[in-house]
Amino acid sequence: MLHKKPRSYASSIFSELAEFSLMQKEQLEEENQFKFMQLSIEERKFKAESEREERKIGMLEQELSMNMEKLKEETDVSS
């Protein structure tokens, strides 16, 4: 009779340990999925910001080119 209690106790501990291990695995999977989603969102934000900055640069280059043409015309007229 004394031997049965420790076995059932050990079995219960093993069962709880297995359940805890499964819960831990599921939590890690959820955390990985969350991190992947976060990374995907950050990547899209970065891409959108990069495209916006490239458009700004393009506009500034056009503005610079127009100002240089205007200055060149003013210099030619003055000469």
pLDDT tens-digit readout, 11-28: 888 999 999 999 999 999
Cα distance between residue 44 and residue 46, in whole Å:
5
Cα distance between residue 77 and residue 64, in whole Å:
20
pTM, 2 dp = 0.59
pLDDT tens-digit readout, 23-54: 999 999 999 999 999 999 999 999 999 999 99
Burial per residue of 7-46, b for 16 or more beta-carbon CB atoms within 10 angstroms, e otherwise: eeeeeeeeeeeeeeeeeeeeeeeeeeeeeeeeeeeeeeee
Read off the amino acid at residue 6.
Answer: P
